[in-house]
Amino acid sequence: MTKPEIAIVDYPGALPSAVYGIEDMLSFGPQGERWDLHRLSEHAEVDFAAIILPPSKRAVGFDEAPWLIPWLQQQTAQGALVCSACAGLSWVAGAGLDRGRRVTTHWGLEQRFRDHFPELNLDTAPLLIEHSDLITAGGMMAWIDLSLVIIERLAGQDAALDVARNFIVSPNRRDQRRFRRFLPELRHGDAEILRAQHHIDSALQDPLKIADLADIAGLAPRSFLRRFTRATGLKPTEYLQALRVDRARDLLLQTRDSTEQIGFAVGYTDSSAFQKIFKRLAGQSPAEFRRAFRQGDFAG
């Protein structure tokens, strides 16, 4: 089986300590043998499983790496997981990979991002914000937490905990928030279905109908259903429910919003239906999950 490829983008101005630190964490121990790691400073004709945009030691200049934005867009269209830390979010915003979803960066850069990217849905309270194909991290040292998340996604929780122990960094923040996470398959090679998946991830709050998703994919509804199930292993309704419950878990731990507010935020207008689906998929009610897995006061 071909090893997944991971790229650390050493763009002009990228913080060297983060570039090499991420490389060290991802290369450590047996999990480092599970993928091929690349440090990139120019375009590469490889389909990457994950791409990491480290923090920058200065303002990011798009004209200094004109290849990077179209390359990121191409990689995302092929199912890559794109990850940014701190000012690395500039490349995500420039490429439009956020697609209106919540993202985070260093709190000190908030106003700069709001000035340059007024449409960005920026929330600098969480250290990490995850989506199916996008992870954004906050402060300059958040690349440590970001590295653990990537290891967990690609090699499992045990591998991430092993790295955390050996580097003597706390995995608790990630271990709590990623309890039984739904990690959908994106690298199946079906471009039309991936386009529908990207739309679902960007529009969870909206009513999503099979006919509309089929139209986005450019397929007849029956063909869409067959190909979606084959590519993801789930029917569209099952996939949507799993993704909405997964997003609700984050909101239960990151905010003080009520169950009703969180259900609405992930697309459920009926609170009782939301609670029923959440309990079926998570094994607990939203209130029980929040009590059991929220350590400290994440909401600030």
Query: Domain residue spans in the chain?
Result: 5-177, 191-293
Which pLDDT score, from 0 to 100, does residue 291 have?
84
Instruction: Read off the pTM.
Output: 0.77
The CATH architecture one would assign to domain 5-177 is 3-Layer(aba) Sandwich (3.40)
pLDDT under 50 in the chain at which residues?
174-179, 296-300
pLDDT tens, position by position, 34-81: 899 999 999 999 999 999 999 998 989 999 999 999 999 999 999 999
At 38, the amino acid letter reads H
Number of Cβ within 10 Å of residue 223's Cβ equals 13
Please provide the CATH number assigned to the domain covering 191-293.
Answer: 1.10.10.60
At 253, the amino acid letter reads L
Which pLDDT score, from 0 to 100, does residue 122 have?
94
Six-digit token string for 91: 């490349």
Which pLDDT score, from 0 to 100, does residue 297 have?
40
Same fold flag, 5-177 and 191-293: no
Q: How far, in Å, CA of 65 to CA of 12, rounded? A: 7
Cβ pair 164, 158 in contact under 8 A: no
Q: How far, in Å, CA of 135 to CA of 118, rounded? A: 20
Which pLDDT score, from 0 to 100, does residue 294 have?
60
